[in-house]
Amino acid sequence: MNLNDPKYSKYALVREMMEAPGIIRAFDPKVSERFVKPLKAKKGLFLTGEGSSRLFPAKRAIYSSLKKDFLIPIVTEGCTQAREYNLSDYAVFASSNSGQTKEVIRLINVLRGKGHDAIFGLTANKNTRLEEAANDTHVLSCGKEEAVAATKSVIEQGLFYDSLMRNFRGEKMEGLATAARQAEGVLTAPIDPGITEIIRNADLIYFAGRDNGVAAELALKTNEITRKKSAFLEGTFALHGIEEVMDKNEVLIWIDPFDVDHDKFRDCLVKGVGMQVIALSKVKTEFPTILIPDAGEYSEYIQLAAGWNILVETGISLGIDLDHPVRARKVGNEFIPE
């Protein structure tokens, strides 16, 4: 992507994606400090929301926490299913960029009806119904998004949960300036036209990788940005039966491939199905590879930004109006008072 080129800069989606490095650079880890005490008063942390407000921020938080010494369970689920859970021992964070998402407000009302006293909101807008309903709400600094597809807000939501758990553990959040430079680098990196051609011609785009929110979020963004069908195949799910119905006209993008099972992906998918496998990786692989830097503890943010770049190039090559999907809405299911 290149903001100096009108074919990119005319889209709010691209402009908002390109704001992400600045958001990373300017992020203040202290913004979550006031939530640590009420979190410590509970036995667990429950992260909820719908769509992009949950997929990357919540799953990345769980993934990052599970790699460290266990201190507190972190769980995520969609708001409607969460109404069936006993969350009395959990601090609940409900995220909604608009602050008006019906499922989020409905869950909070259910919890308040049960006397829950640790319900917190995360939103990109001030003076919203979420802010009215929650015990306390953090409003992101990124500002309102004009594009339908959420991007810069997803990054800041992830950073907020990241800082919350670091403050909970007493860890410093360092290296943001480096991560910002790396994010800008992958957003502006040229994508091999041959890889773009493979993706644009695919009937369906699979994303495989860890259940840390990156591949799942990119699968959702694929629908919104390229208007193509997509699916997230967690871990090595691609090797456990779905290959039976895969087709040579489909493509699989493997995010940060595991250091094992490359041979099985090659044999089952490339040779067996006849489809293309593309890797988004910090090291060269035997598959067509889009190289990205090793960002250490910020790797997921860089992988997500690199994935955006791929999808924008694909969408533009298809002549898609990136800002105006036909059916998708900015607020998927808006709360309307009865």
Enter the pTM of the model: 0.95
Could you read off the pLDDT of 249-264 as tens digits, one per residue? 999 999 999 999 999 9
- Decide: helix, strand or coil at residue 75: strand
Q: What is the pLDDT of residues 176-211, one digit of tens each?
A: 999 999 999 999 999 999 999 999 999 999 999 999
pLDDT at position 244 is: 95
**Residue 287, domain extent:** 178-317
* Statement to judge: residues 221 and 285 lie in one domain: yes
Average pLDDT over residues 16-39: 98
Q: Is 146 a domain residue?
A: yes
147 shares its domain with 212: no
Instruction: pLDDT band for 118, please (50, 70, 90 cuts).
Output: very high
Which of 175, 199, 234 finishes a domain?
175
Residue 170 shares a structural domain with residue 50: yes
Q: How many domains does the chain have?
A: 2
The amino acid that residue 25 corresponds to is R
187 and 241 share a domain?
Answer: yes
pLDDT level of residue 325 (50, 70, 90 thresholds): confident
- Residue 330: the pLDDT is 58
Residue 327 has pLDDT above 80, yes or no: no
Tokens found for residue 327:
């059916």
Q: Provide, rounded to the nearest whole percent, the portion of the chain with pLDDT above 90.
A: 93
Angle, CA 79 vertex, CA 78 and CA 84 arms, to 5°: 100
Shared-domain flag, residues 126 and 188: no
Distance, in Å, from the CA atom of 254 to the CA atom of 132, rounded to the nearest integer, reads: 41
